[in-house]
Amino acid sequence: MTHPSRRAEFRSVAVLSLGFGLVGIDRFLISTMYPVIARDLHLDYGDIGLITGALAIAWGISALFMGNLSDRIGRRRVLTVSLIVFSLLIGASGLATGLMTLIIVRVIMGFADGAYTPVSIAATLDASAPQRHGLNIGIQQMMLPLFGLGLAPLFVAGALRFIEWRLIFLIFALPGLALAYAVWKMIPAFSAPVRIEPWRGLSDWKAVLQYSNVRIAALLMLCWLTCLISTSAFMPNYLVDHLQLRSEQMAVVMSAIGLGASAGTLLLPWLSDKIGRKPVMALSSIGVFVSLLLLVNAPHNVGILFAFLFLVHFFNNALIALTVGPLCISAVPTALMATASGLVIAVGELFGGGLAPVIVGHVAQRFGIEHVLWLPIIVMAAGFLLCLAIRDTRTS
C-alpha cells in the first residue's frame, strides 16, 4: 500500500481526529449532566447504567458490521453517513421525556458512533506512514477524551448556569455536519483494492481471529472499557452523592478524565513506536490498577481526586488507543484492518461498555455508590496478565 504525502497525511489525520472528538462529545456529554437529568426524569443509578450500557451495546454491534463493510465499500461513505446521522441525533437527547425515550435515542446514536470508530481508526492508519502509526493513532484517539471528557464537563458546568440541559445537546449538530462534508472531500474513496465478492462476515471474522494479538486485544478491550465507561458514567454521582462535592467541584474533577486521557493517548502510543507495544501496555495496566486503588481511598479533596483520576485515564486511554489501533490492526492484512478493529471494539463495547455499567449500576443501587470502582480494579488486574501474552510488533 502506498502512503500519501506528508501534507495529505496531516489533513486526513486532522479531520478524522476532529470527527472522533465529536464522537466523544456525542457519547460523554450526557455524563456530567446525569445528576441534573436524573432529578428531572426521576432516574436512579440502575437507570444510568442501562442508558450507558444500551449505547455501548449498539456501538459494539455497529462496529462489528460496519468495520467489515468499510473494508469492502471504502472508508469515505461509512464515515460520512455516520457523521451525518449522529450529528442530527445528538440534539434528540434533549427531547427525552423519560427512561425509555432516552434509551431509544442513545441506542440509535450508538449505532452511528460505532460505525465511525473502527473505520476512522483504519482510515487514520491508511493515511499514515508506518513509522508514525503509534503517534497518529494517538493523536486521533486522544480527541475523544479531550473533547468528550475533558472540555465537555467544563463547558456543561458553565452552560448549565444559563440554559437548561436539554438545549446543550442542540449546540453540537452543525459542527458535525461540517465535518461530514470535510470527510467526504478529504478522505479517499478507497485506500486499498476493493473486494467485490459477496459479503462474508463470518469468514472474515474467523480470519482475523486466527491472529493471537486480535484475540488478546478483544479481551483487553473489555478490561479497558469497563474502566472507562464505569468511571465516566458513575463518577459524577460518586463525587456528588458520596463525597458531597458541589456541582462545580465535580465538573473540575471530571475534567481530569479527558485531560489525563488526552495526554496519555498522545504520549504513550508515541513511546510504543520507540520501545514496543507490549512493555508500554503492561506498565500502563499497572498504572491504572494502582491509580484506581489510590482513587478509591482518596479523601474529600478536589486536587487529590483530580490527580488520581487524571492518572487512571492517562494510562487507560493509551491502552484503548494501542489495542484498537496498532496492536490488532498490525496483526492482519490491509484488506481486513477495519474488520479486525471492529471485532475488537465490538467485544469491548458489548461486555465492557454494555454489561459492566449495568452491573455497576445495580451494585450502586443495592450496596451504595461508594462501591462503583471495585469492578474496574478487578478487571485491570486481569488486563495486566493478558498484556503479558502479547506478541510485540513495534510498527506495522
Q: Cβ distance 113 to 59 under 8 Å?
A: yes
Report the phi/psi class of residue 332: left, alpha or beta, with left for phi > 0 and alpha for psi in -120 to 50.
Answer: beta
Cell of 291: 491509580
Q: Cβ distance 71 to 101 under 8 Å?
A: no
Cell of 302: 478536589
CA distance 146 to 317: 11
Residue type, 23: V
Q: 3-state DSSP call for residue 210? A: coil
How is the chain split among helix, strand and coil, in percent rounded to 5?
Answer: 85, 0, 15
Per the domain annotation, does 237 fall within a domain? yes
Report the phi/psi class of residue 244: left, alpha or beta, with left for phi > 0 and alpha for psi in -120 to 50.
Answer: left
pLDDT digits (tens, 9 = 90+) for 89-110: 777 777 777 888 888 888 888 8
Q: Cβ distance 316 to 261 under 8 Å?
A: yes
Per the domain annotation, does 97 fall within a domain? yes
Per the domain annotation, does 394 fall within a domain? no
Q: What is the DSSP string of 219-273?
A: HHHHHHHHHHHHHHHHHHHIIIIIS---HHHHHHHHHHHHHHHHHHHHHHHHHHH
Torsional sign, CA 230, 235, 237, 242: positive
Q: Cβ distance 242 to 298 under 8 Å?
A: no
Which range marks the domain in which residue 110 is found?
6-187+201-387
Q: How far is CA 185 from CA 15, 70, 148, in A?
A: 10, 17, 25
Closest CA to 312 of 220, 250, 226: 226
Per the domain annotation, does 193 fall within a domain? no
The single residue listed with the C-alpha cell 462545580 is 248
Cell of 23: 464522537
Per the domain annotation, does 87 fall within a domain? yes
Q: 3-state DSSP call for residue 331? A: coil
Per the domain annotation, does 273 fall within a domain? yes
Q: Please list the pLDDT of the chain residue by residue as tens digits (396 residues).
A: 445 577 888 888 889 999 888 888 877 777 777 778 888 888 888 888 888 888 888 888 888 788 777 777 778 888 899 888 878 877 777 777 788 888 888 888 888 888 888 888 888 878 887 778 777 887 887 888 888 877 887 787 788 788 887 888 778 778 888 888 998 988 876 555 444 455 555 778 888 888 888 899 999 999 999 998 888 888 888 898 888 888 888 888 988 988 898 899 888 888 888 888 899 999 999 999 999 999 999 988 999 999 999 999 999 989 998 888 778 777 778 778 778 888 888 888 888 877 888 888 888 888 888 888 999 999 999 999 999 998 865 543
Q: Which residues, 6+ apart, have CB-to-CB distance to 174 below 8 Å?
A: 87
- The domain tally of the chain equals 1
157: CATH: 1.20.1250.20
CA distance 176 to 21: 10
Predicted structure pTM score = 0.74
Per the domain annotation, does 395 fall within a domain? no
pLDDT digits (tens, 9 = 90+) for 337-387: 778 888 888 888 888 877 888 888 888 888 888 888 999 999 999 999 999
Per the domain annotation, does 393 fall within a domain? no
Give the number of other CB atoms < 10 A from CB of residue 262. 27
Give the helix/strand (H/E) hosting 348.
none
